[in-house]
Amino acid sequence: MSRLAVQQRTAQLRSERVPFVHAEVVRAEKPTSAKPGDEAVVFADGTIEGFVGGTCAESTVRAQALALLDSGETLLLRITPEPKGFQPRPGALTVVNHCLSGGTLEIFLEPVIPAPVLVVHGDSPIAVALRDLARPLGYVLQELQTDHPDDDTHAALSGAAAVVVASHGRDEEPLLTAALRAGVRYVGLVASRKRGAAVLASLDVDEAARARVRTPAGLDIGARTPEEVALSILAEIVADRRRLSGNVAAPEHAQPTEEPAVQNATDPVCGMSVAAVDALLHLDHEGERYWFCGTGCLRAFAADPDAYTT
Protein backbone atom coordinates (compact mmCIF):
# COMPACT_ATOMS: atom_id res chain seq x y z
CA MET A 1 0.00 0.00 0.00
CA SER A 2 1.70 3.20 -1.19
CA ARG A 3 1.92 6.41 0.84
CA LEU A 4 -0.55 8.04 -1.55
CA ALA A 5 -2.96 5.14 -1.06
CA VAL A 6 -2.67 5.47 2.73
CA GLN A 7 -3.30 9.22 2.54
CA GLN A 8 -6.35 8.67 0.34
CA ARG A 9 -7.58 6.00 2.74
CA THR A 10 -7.21 8.25 5.79
CA ALA A 11 -9.10 11.05 4.00
CA GLN A 12 -11.91 8.60 3.24
CA LEU A 13 -12.03 7.36 6.85
CA ARG A 14 -12.19 10.92 8.18
CA SER A 15 -15.10 11.74 5.87
CA GLU A 16 -16.90 8.55 6.93
CA ARG A 17 -16.22 9.28 10.62
CA VAL A 18 -14.41 5.97 11.21
CA PRO A 19 -12.01 5.92 14.18
CA PHE A 20 -8.47 4.77 13.45
CA VAL A 21 -4.82 5.27 14.39
CA HIS A 22 -2.41 6.68 11.83
CA ALA A 23 1.05 5.09 12.18
CA GLU A 24 4.14 6.49 10.46
CA VAL A 25 7.73 5.31 10.68
CA VAL A 26 9.87 8.33 11.57
CA ARG A 27 13.17 6.55 12.18
CA ALA A 28 14.55 3.14 11.27
CA GLU A 29 17.89 1.48 11.88
CA LYS A 30 19.06 -1.25 9.53
CA PRO A 31 18.34 -4.10 9.04
CA THR A 32 14.66 -3.28 9.69
CA SER A 33 12.32 -3.92 6.76
CA ALA A 34 10.41 -0.67 7.32
CA LYS A 35 11.74 2.68 6.11
CA PRO A 36 11.11 6.24 7.31
CA GLY A 37 7.89 7.48 5.74
CA ASP A 38 6.16 4.08 5.68
CA GLU A 39 2.58 4.47 6.87
CA ALA A 40 -0.40 2.40 7.99
CA VAL A 41 -3.81 2.76 9.56
CA VAL A 42 -4.94 0.63 12.49
CA PHE A 43 -8.65 0.08 13.09
CA ALA A 44 -10.50 -0.50 16.35
CA ASP A 45 -10.78 -4.24 15.60
CA GLY A 46 -6.98 -4.53 15.23
CA THR A 47 -6.97 -4.65 11.43
CA ILE A 48 -3.93 -2.95 9.86
CA GLU A 49 -3.79 -1.48 6.35
CA GLY A 50 -0.40 -0.38 5.10
CA PHE A 51 3.09 -1.27 6.30
CA VAL A 52 5.18 -0.12 9.27
CA GLY A 53 7.22 -3.27 9.85
CA GLY A 54 7.11 -7.05 9.80
CA THR A 55 4.97 -9.33 11.94
CA CYS A 56 7.05 -8.76 15.08
CA ALA A 57 6.68 -4.99 14.92
CA GLU A 58 3.09 -5.21 13.72
CA SER A 59 1.84 -6.95 16.86
CA THR A 60 3.34 -4.21 19.04
CA VAL A 61 1.92 -1.44 16.87
CA ARG A 62 -1.51 -3.08 17.02
CA ALA A 63 -1.47 -3.37 20.82
CA GLN A 64 -0.36 0.22 21.39
CA ALA A 65 -2.79 1.60 18.80
CA LEU A 66 -5.74 -0.05 20.53
CA ALA A 67 -4.67 1.56 23.79
CA LEU A 68 -4.46 4.97 22.11
CA LEU A 69 -7.97 4.65 20.69
CA ASP A 70 -9.04 4.37 24.32
CA SER A 71 -6.96 7.26 25.68
CA GLY A 72 -6.94 9.57 22.64
CA GLU A 73 -3.27 10.40 23.22
CA THR A 74 -0.44 10.40 20.68
CA LEU A 75 2.65 8.26 21.20
CA LEU A 76 6.17 7.92 19.84
CA LEU A 77 6.66 4.16 19.89
CA ARG A 78 10.20 2.80 19.88
CA ILE A 79 10.55 -0.93 19.13
CA THR A 80 14.00 -2.41 19.72
CA PRO A 81 15.63 -5.79 20.40
CA GLU A 82 18.08 -4.12 22.80
CA PRO A 83 16.68 -2.77 26.08
CA LYS A 84 19.72 -0.66 26.97
CA GLY A 85 20.53 2.93 26.15
CA PHE A 86 17.04 4.48 26.10
CA GLN A 87 15.83 6.94 28.72
CA PRO A 88 12.07 7.24 29.46
CA ARG A 89 10.53 10.37 27.95
CA PRO A 90 7.02 11.84 28.22
CA GLY A 91 4.90 10.85 25.24
CA ALA A 92 7.32 8.09 24.24
CA LEU A 93 7.38 4.36 24.96
CA THR A 94 10.19 1.89 24.36
CA VAL A 95 9.11 -1.70 23.80
CA VAL A 96 11.71 -4.47 23.83
CA ASN A 97 10.81 -7.00 21.15
CA HIS A 98 13.35 -9.80 20.99
CA CYS A 99 11.92 -11.27 17.80
CA LEU A 100 13.06 -8.31 15.69
CA SER A 101 15.77 -9.25 13.21
CA GLY A 102 17.81 -6.26 14.37
CA GLY A 103 17.75 -2.49 14.37
CA THR A 104 15.30 -0.15 16.02
CA LEU A 105 12.05 1.34 14.74
CA GLU A 106 10.45 4.59 15.89
CA ILE A 107 6.82 4.95 14.89
CA PHE A 108 4.59 7.93 15.59
CA LEU A 109 1.04 6.85 16.46
CA GLU A 110 -1.79 9.37 16.21
CA PRO A 111 -5.38 8.39 17.02
CA VAL A 112 -8.03 9.96 14.81
CA ILE A 113 -11.32 9.83 16.69
CA PRO A 114 -14.34 11.56 15.16
CA ALA A 115 -16.32 13.92 17.34
CA PRO A 116 -19.36 12.12 18.81
CA VAL A 117 -22.74 12.81 17.20
CA LEU A 118 -25.56 13.95 19.48
CA VAL A 119 -29.18 13.99 18.32
CA VAL A 120 -31.41 16.28 20.39
CA HIS A 121 -35.11 16.21 19.52
CA GLY A 122 -37.37 19.03 20.68
CA ASP A 123 -37.54 22.77 21.14
CA SER A 124 -38.03 22.80 24.90
CA PRO A 125 -35.76 24.93 27.12
CA ILE A 126 -33.87 21.77 28.12
CA ALA A 127 -33.33 20.85 24.45
CA VAL A 128 -32.02 24.34 23.71
CA ALA A 129 -29.68 24.21 26.72
CA LEU A 130 -28.44 20.76 25.65
CA ARG A 131 -27.45 22.06 22.23
CA ASP A 132 -25.76 25.12 23.72
CA LEU A 133 -23.71 23.04 26.19
CA ALA A 134 -22.89 20.20 23.77
CA ARG A 135 -21.13 22.37 21.18
CA PRO A 136 -18.20 23.53 23.38
CA LEU A 137 -17.78 19.91 24.54
CA GLY A 138 -17.03 18.91 20.96
CA TYR A 139 -20.27 17.14 20.06
CA VAL A 140 -21.59 17.27 16.50
CA LEU A 141 -25.30 18.09 16.60
CA GLN A 142 -27.57 16.35 14.12
CA GLU A 143 -31.17 17.13 13.24
CA LEU A 144 -33.57 14.39 12.14
CA GLN A 145 -37.08 14.23 10.74
CA THR A 146 -38.95 11.85 13.03
CA ASP A 147 -42.56 11.91 11.83
CA HIS A 148 -41.90 8.91 9.60
CA PRO A 149 -38.53 7.28 10.33
CA ASP A 150 -37.11 5.57 7.25
CA ASP A 151 -33.91 3.80 6.20
CA ASP A 152 -32.03 7.11 6.02
CA THR A 153 -33.04 7.89 9.61
CA HIS A 154 -31.86 4.46 10.73
CA ALA A 155 -28.50 4.92 8.99
CA ALA A 156 -28.03 8.36 10.54
CA LEU A 157 -28.87 7.12 14.03
CA SER A 158 -26.46 4.20 13.67
CA GLY A 159 -23.60 6.71 13.75
CA ALA A 160 -24.91 8.64 16.76
CA ALA A 161 -23.30 8.38 20.19
CA ALA A 162 -26.46 9.56 21.95
CA VAL A 163 -30.09 10.48 21.27
CA VAL A 164 -32.01 12.67 23.71
CA VAL A 165 -35.73 13.31 23.31
CA ALA A 166 -36.82 16.51 25.06
CA SER A 167 -39.98 17.47 23.18
CA HIS A 168 -42.55 17.19 25.99
CA GLY A 169 -44.71 14.60 24.23
CA ARG A 170 -44.22 15.51 20.57
CA ASP A 171 -43.08 12.69 18.27
CA GLU A 172 -41.32 10.85 21.09
CA GLU A 173 -42.18 7.25 20.26
CA PRO A 174 -40.96 7.18 16.61
CA LEU A 175 -37.49 8.51 17.44
CA LEU A 176 -37.06 6.42 20.60
CA THR A 177 -38.01 3.28 18.68
CA ALA A 178 -35.72 4.12 15.77
CA ALA A 179 -32.79 4.88 18.10
CA LEU A 180 -33.20 1.59 19.98
CA ARG A 181 -33.41 -0.43 16.78
CA ALA A 182 -30.34 1.36 15.39
CA GLY A 183 -28.33 0.32 18.46
CA VAL A 184 -27.59 3.84 19.73
CA ARG A 185 -25.57 3.46 22.92
CA TYR A 186 -27.28 6.21 24.94
CA VAL A 187 -31.00 6.88 24.52
CA GLY A 188 -32.54 9.41 26.91
CA LEU A 189 -36.07 10.73 27.44
CA VAL A 190 -36.73 13.93 29.35
CA ALA A 191 -39.92 13.19 31.28
CA SER A 192 -41.20 12.52 34.77
CA ARG A 193 -40.93 8.97 35.99
CA LYS A 194 -44.67 8.44 35.62
CA ARG A 195 -44.94 9.83 32.09
CA GLY A 196 -41.67 8.21 31.08
CA ALA A 197 -42.98 4.79 32.11
CA ALA A 198 -46.12 5.36 30.05
CA VAL A 199 -44.09 6.34 26.97
CA LEU A 200 -41.85 3.28 27.30
CA ALA A 201 -44.86 0.98 27.60
CA SER A 202 -46.14 2.26 24.25
CA LEU A 203 -42.93 1.53 22.33
CA ASP A 204 -42.98 -1.31 19.80
CA VAL A 205 -39.83 -2.97 21.14
CA ASP A 206 -39.11 -5.74 23.62
CA GLU A 207 -38.55 -5.28 27.35
CA ALA A 208 -34.77 -5.46 27.05
CA ALA A 209 -34.81 -2.53 24.63
CA ARG A 210 -37.20 -0.50 26.80
CA ALA A 211 -34.85 -0.95 29.75
CA ARG A 212 -32.09 0.82 27.78
CA VAL A 213 -33.96 4.15 27.72
CA ARG A 214 -32.77 6.55 30.44
CA THR A 215 -35.80 8.32 31.87
CA PRO A 216 -35.72 10.72 33.54
CA ALA A 217 -32.56 11.38 31.53
CA GLY A 218 -29.51 12.65 33.41
CA LEU A 219 -27.59 12.00 36.60
CA ASP A 220 -29.25 12.88 39.88
CA ILE A 221 -27.38 16.06 40.81
CA GLY A 222 -30.34 17.97 42.17
CA ALA A 223 -30.79 19.86 38.89
CA ARG A 224 -33.58 22.45 38.73
CA THR A 225 -32.98 24.85 35.85
CA PRO A 226 -32.95 23.76 32.17
CA GLU A 227 -29.21 24.39 32.07
CA GLU A 228 -28.61 22.21 35.13
CA VAL A 229 -30.76 19.42 33.68
CA ALA A 230 -28.82 19.66 30.41
CA LEU A 231 -25.57 19.45 32.37
CA SER A 232 -26.78 16.32 34.18
CA ILE A 233 -27.71 14.67 30.85
CA LEU A 234 -24.37 15.44 29.25
CA ALA A 235 -22.59 14.17 32.37
CA GLU A 236 -24.51 10.90 32.08
CA ILE A 237 -23.63 10.61 28.38
CA VAL A 238 -19.93 11.18 29.11
CA ALA A 239 -20.00 8.65 31.97
CA ASP A 240 -21.73 6.09 29.76
CA ARG A 241 -19.53 6.35 26.71
CA ARG A 242 -17.73 3.11 26.02
CA ARG A 243 -14.07 2.95 24.82
CA LEU A 244 -13.81 2.49 21.07
CA SER A 245 -11.97 -0.72 21.42
CA GLY A 246 -14.78 -2.34 23.43
CA ASN A 247 -18.25 -3.67 22.63
CA VAL A 248 -20.83 -1.65 20.73
CA ALA A 249 -24.49 -2.24 21.47
CA ALA A 250 -26.18 -4.32 18.79
CA PRO A 251 -29.44 -3.28 17.16
CA GLU A 252 -32.51 -4.47 19.02
CA HIS A 253 -33.61 -6.79 16.22
CA ALA A 254 -30.16 -8.44 16.11
CA GLN A 255 -29.98 -9.44 19.76
CA PRO A 256 -29.72 -13.20 20.37
CA THR A 257 -32.58 -14.92 22.15
CA GLU A 258 -30.14 -16.53 24.56
CA GLU A 259 -26.95 -15.19 26.07
CA PRO A 260 -23.96 -17.14 24.75
CA ALA A 261 -21.70 -18.80 27.27
CA VAL A 262 -18.70 -16.60 27.99
CA GLN A 263 -15.35 -18.12 28.92
CA ASN A 264 -13.16 -16.33 31.44
CA ALA A 265 -9.43 -15.70 31.20
CA THR A 266 -6.87 -14.33 33.65
CA ASP A 267 -5.16 -11.04 32.93
CA PRO A 268 -1.48 -12.08 32.93
CA VAL A 269 -0.39 -8.72 34.39
CA CYS A 270 -2.75 -8.08 37.30
CA GLY A 271 -4.38 -11.50 37.70
CA MET A 272 -7.93 -10.21 37.27
CA SER A 273 -10.56 -12.51 35.78
CA VAL A 274 -11.83 -11.08 32.47
CA ALA A 275 -14.20 -12.23 29.74
CA ALA A 276 -12.36 -13.99 26.91
CA VAL A 277 -14.27 -12.46 24.01
CA ASP A 278 -12.65 -11.04 20.88
CA ALA A 279 -14.32 -7.61 21.23
CA LEU A 280 -12.47 -6.93 24.48
CA LEU A 281 -8.80 -5.98 24.89
CA HIS A 282 -6.49 -8.81 23.88
CA LEU A 283 -3.10 -9.47 22.33
CA ASP A 284 -1.68 -12.49 20.49
CA HIS A 285 1.83 -13.55 21.50
CA GLU A 286 3.69 -16.59 20.17
CA GLY A 287 0.51 -18.31 19.06
CA GLU A 288 -1.45 -17.73 22.27
CA ARG A 289 -4.09 -15.07 22.98
CA TYR A 290 -4.10 -13.06 26.20
CA TRP A 291 -6.94 -10.86 27.52
CA PHE A 292 -6.59 -7.75 29.67
CA CYS A 293 -8.73 -5.78 32.10
CA GLY A 294 -7.61 -2.42 30.67
CA THR A 295 -5.10 -0.63 28.50
CA GLY A 296 -2.58 -0.24 31.34
CA CYS A 297 -2.12 -4.00 31.66
CA LEU A 298 -2.13 -4.46 27.89
CA ARG A 299 0.64 -1.89 27.45
CA ALA A 300 2.72 -3.41 30.27
CA PHE A 301 2.43 -6.85 28.69
CA ALA A 302 3.26 -5.57 25.20
CA ALA A 303 6.38 -3.84 26.51
CA ASP A 304 7.79 -7.07 27.99
CA PRO A 305 5.73 -10.22 27.31
CA ASP A 306 8.41 -12.54 28.71
CA ALA A 307 7.99 -11.02 32.15
CA TYR A 308 4.40 -12.30 32.32
CA THR A 309 4.52 -15.56 30.35
CA THR A 310 7.47 -17.39 31.89
pLDDT confidence of residue 150? 59
Mean pLDDT, 10 residues at a time, the chain of 310 residues: 88 91 93 90 91 84 85 88 70 76 87 92 94 93 68 73 91 90 92 94 93 94 95 92 43 36 75 68 80 77 83
pLDDT confidence of residue 86? 64
pLDDT confidence of residue 231? 96
pLDDT confidence of residue 256? 35
pLDDT confidence of residue 247? 36
Delimit the domains of the chain by residue range: 3-113, 117-243, 261-310
pLDDT confidence of residue 151? 58
pLDDT confidence of residue 80? 85
DSSP string across the chain: --HHHHHHHHHHHHHTT--EEEEEEEEE-TT-S--TT-EEEEETTS-EEE-SS-HHHHHHHHHHHHHHHHH---EEEEEES--SS----TTEEEEE-TTS-SS-EEEEEEEE-PPPEEEEE--SHHHHHHHHHHGGGTPEEE----SS--HHHHHHHHT-SEEEE-STTSSHHHHHHHHHHTT-SEEEE-S-HHHHHHHHHTSSS-HHHHTTEESS-S--S---SHHHHHHHHHHHHHHHPPPTTS--PPPGGG--SSPPP--EEE-TTT--EEE--TTSSEEEETTEEEE-SSHHHHHHHHH-THHHH-
- Determine the topology of domain 117-243 in CATH: Rossmann fold (3.40.50)
